[in-house]
Amino acid sequence: MFSALVYAALIIGMALTIKGFGPPVGGFTWKQRFASLPPALPIVAVVVIIIFFVYNPFGGDAWGTPTEGGAVGAFIVFCMALYQGMRLPELRDALVETAKLSIMIFSIIWGVLIYVRFLGFADLPSAFSDWITALPYSPMLILVCILLAYAVLGMFMDAIGMLLLTLPVVYPAVMALNGGEFVAAEDSAFGMSGPMCAIWFGILVVKMAEFCLITPPIGLNCFVVAGVRPEVSVQDVFRGVTPFFVADGVTIALLVAFPWIVLWLPSLA
């Protein structure tokens, strides 16, 4: 939600300051506007169903985990696709693409599990943590350097591979910088308890992964957009996302400087 607010502020600011950036849209009656809403209602219904499934707003325990909620949402979308006329060739292509993606992800996970096991045998995470905590710099400066290293890695690796390869080493180091997984807030370096620091760092790393999805030369999201719109070149897409690249940098800086933005909601639990 915080990222959405930053993006909204960016778009509003660009529309107000750049001439012709956001020309007013006219020529549509309210009847035409309302008539355009029904095609979007099924997607809205899927989102609402998943949220109700995971959070159970009626009280009591949740009806299922987020993974199960995603499976329910996928089944509903599948039923919608059948209702809209999806035939066997389209279903076969979708299943083949899903299988390819699943095999790729599981292959990465298998490799990382072996990698983590070797790291444990070599005691590398512990040695790296000891080296990080022994550096004569402030924990916040070291954290910023780690995030900058993620930005560089994201230029050459995809998000999943980058996270799976680095977190087994980086996460213990960050927790050691804070004082340990079970440290109290008043005794920690970042001013937060061990579990809250884990949540905060997790959000920062996920945001860095999103940040890397629009950084050249790998910028996966940019290539996806260029593939969907062949008339738009990859160079134009990268130029178009530059303001959002800056907005993501501002968002990450604010999350680092003001951790309560991330921790407010978890603190209510």
pLDDT digits (tens, 9 = 90+) for 146-161: 898 888 887 777 777 7
Report the Cα 197 to chain-centroid distance in Å.
18
Query: Which residue stretches of 24-87 are H helix?
Result: 30-35, 41-55, 66-83
Burial of 38 (0-12, 13-18, 19+ CB in 10 A): exposed
Burial of 12 (0-12, 13-18, 19+ CB in 10 A): exposed
Average pLDDT over residues 20-33: 77
The identity of residue 221, as a single letter, is N
56 or 31: which carries more pLDDT confidence? 31
Reply yes or no on whether the pLDDT at 14 is more than 80. Answer: yes
CB atoms near residue 6 (< 10 Å): 16
Distance between CA 100 and CA 94 in Å, rounded? 10
pLDDT digits (tens, 9 = 90+) for 94-118: 888 888 878 877 887 787 778 777 8
Distance between CA 42 and CA 114 in Å, rounded? 42
Predicted TM-score (pTM) of the model is 0.73
Average pLDDT over residues 235-241: 84
Query: In which element (H, E) is residue 210 found?
Result: helix 194-212
CA distances for 11 relative to 6, 183, 208, angstroms = 9, 41, 21
Reply yes or no on whether the pLDDT at 59 is more than 70. Answer: no
Q: Which two tokens stand for residue 35?
A: 């008539």
> Which residues contact residue 48 at a Cβ distance below 8 angstroms, ignoring those fewer than 6 apart?
none
Per the CB < 8 A criterion, the answer to whether 164 and 119 are in contact is no
The predicted pLDDT at position 182 comes to 82
Q: Hey, where are the domains in the chain?
A: 123-269
Average pLDDT, the chain: 82
